[in-house]
Structure 1
Amino acid sequence: MTKSSTQTEERLLDLAESLIRKNGYNGFSFRELAAGIGVKSSSVHYYFPTKADLGAKVARRYTDRFLIALEEAAPSKGPAASADDILTQLRLLFRKALTEDGKMCLCGVLAAEASGLPEEVTLETRSFFSRLAQWLENALARTRWGMGASAEERHKAALKALALFEGALLVARVHESTELFDLIEADPLEA
C-alpha cells in the first residue's frame, strides 16, 4: 500500500471506531464513512470488502492499542508493584474513554451487541476481553497480592475488574456523568 492508501485506511478505521463507540456496530454505513473522509463508497469497499471485515479490523486494532497503552502505563514490573496500582492503571484507561470523548469502550459496545454481530467481529470482541484478562492476570501475578493468590483467584479478580469498569462506563455514559464512574469503590481483589 502507498502512504496515501495507508492514510486513507487509517482514517476509515478511526472514523468507524468513533461511530461504533458512539452509535454501535449497526449505527453507521459505508456511505457515511465515505462521506466522512471524502471518498466514494466504493473506495471503502476497496479497503474492507464487507462491514464484518471492517468491524473485525477495528476491534483488533483497538485491542492492540489498549494493551500497548496498558504496557506503557504499567507500574514497575517487579514484585514491588502493587495490585492496586495495576488496577488503577486499568481503571484510568477505561476512564479515559469516557473523559476524552464521552464514549464507551469499543469492545464493551460490541459485547453488548454480540448476539447480532457477524462471527468475525464477535471473535475479535471476545479476543479483547480474553487478552485483557490475561494481561491483568499476568500483571497481578507479579504483585505481592498475586504471588499469594491462586491462578483461579487471579482469573476471577481480572474478570471482576473488567466487569466493574465496563459496567461503570455504561452507567456513567447513560447519566452523562464522569463522577459516577469515579464512584467505583468496589475492590475486585476481594473474595
Structure 2
Amino acid sequence: MKLTMMQEKILNTAESLIQKMGYNAFSYKDIALIVGIKTSSIHYYYPTKEDLAVAVIDWQLERVLIVLNELKLNSALSLQEKLLYAVDVILSLTLRDEMKMCLGGILASDVLSLPEKLKNRVRHFFNALEQWIKELLDAENYKNNSFDSLYSKDNLPKYLLIQIEGGLLMSRLYHDFTYIEIVKQFIKKMD
C-alpha cells in the first residue's frame, strides 16, 4: 500500500487512538488536532470514519504479515522461537507502546456497533493471523504429540489466538505482563 506522508500520519494517529480508546471513542477532530491539520484533509483521503478504520486495519495487517512471513522463513529458529517472536511483534504494537490493545482485539470488542464492512475487515485480520499460524505449523511439520484434541493442527491456531488476545486484555487491565508470560510458557512447552 503506497501512502503519502500525510496519509501515514493520519493512519498512525488513528491506529494509536483506536488501540487506546476503541473505534467509538475517537473523532476526526481528535486526529486533526494531533496531526495539525483540518478535518477536511482527513476526509479527502478517508471520506468516512469506516473508510479510515478499514485503512488502518489493512495497513497494520500488511506491516505485521511482512514481519511474520519473514519470520516463518527463518530456518535458524524453532517453531517455539518463531511463535515467541510473533508474540513479541504483537507486544511491540500494543502493550509495550502506551498500554495499547491489539487493534483487532479492541475493534472486536466494539463489534456490535461497527459498520458491516469494518466487521468483515476485523474478521479478515484474525483469519489472516490464524492462517499464518496454520502455515507455520505446516512448514514446521507440527504434529500433535498429545491426545488432547485442543492441540490439534486445526485447533491450535485458534487456541493460540485466544490465549494471546486474552493475555493482552488481562495484561492491559491489570498492568501486569504475567498474563502474557503465561502464554509464552505454554508456547515453550509445546511439543
TM class, shorter-length: 0.7 to 0.9
Structure 1 counterpart of 2:26: 28
Deviations along 1:71-111, one digit per CA (max 9) or x if unpaired, are: 2334635xx86332232122222222212332111111111
Name which of 67, 86, 90 aligns with 1:90.
86
Taking the aligned partners of 1:114 and 1:42, their CA distance within structure 2 comes to 27
Does structure 2 retain, via aligned residues, the 8 Å contact 1:75–1:81? no
Identify if the C-alpha distance between structure 1 residues 75 and 56 changes in structure 2 by more than 3 Å, giving closer, same or farther.
same
Identify if the C-alpha distance between structure 1 residues 188 and 119 changes in structure 2 by more than 3 Å, giving closer, same or farther.
farther
Deviations along 1:130-162, one digit per CA (max 9) or x if unpaired, are: 111111101111114249899x93231111101
Taking the aligned partners of 1:189 and 1:65, their CA distance within structure 2 comes to 29
Number of aligned positions between the proteins: 185
Taking the aligned partners of 2:64 and 2:45, their CA distance within structure 1 comes to 23
Taking the aligned partners of 1:127 and 1:183, their CA distance within structure 2 comes to 27
Name which of 58, 61, 70 aligns with 1:60.
58
Structure 1 counterpart of 2:155: 156
Structure 1 counterpart of 2:74: 76
SS of alignment partner, residue 74 of structure 2? coil
- The sequence identity of aligned pairs, in percent, is 34
Does structure 1 retain, via aligned residues, the 8 Å contact 2:107–2:122? yes
Any gaps of 5 or more consecutive residues in structure 2? Answer: none
**Where do residues 132-143 of structure 1 align in structure 2 (5 Å cutoff)?**
132-143=129-140
Deviations along 1:13-55, one digit per CA (max 9) or x if unpaired, are: 0000000000000111011111111111111111111000001
Structure 1 counterpart of 2:186: 186
Taking the aligned partners of 1:119 and 1:91, their CA distance within structure 2 comes to 29
AA of the residue aligned to 2:83: L
Taking the aligned partners of 2:72 and 2:188, their CA distance within structure 1 comes to 18
Any gaps of 5 or more consecutive residues in structure 1? Answer: none
TM-score, normalisation: structure 2: 0.85
Deviations along 1:151-178, one digit per CA (max 9) or x if unpaired, are: x932311111011001000000011122
- Kindly report the root-mean-square deviation, in angstroms, between the aligned alpha carbons of the 2 structures: 2.8
Identify if the C-alpha distance between structure 1 residues 111 and 170 changes in structure 2 by more than 3 Å, giving closer, same or farther.
same
Structure 2 counterpart of 1:127: 124
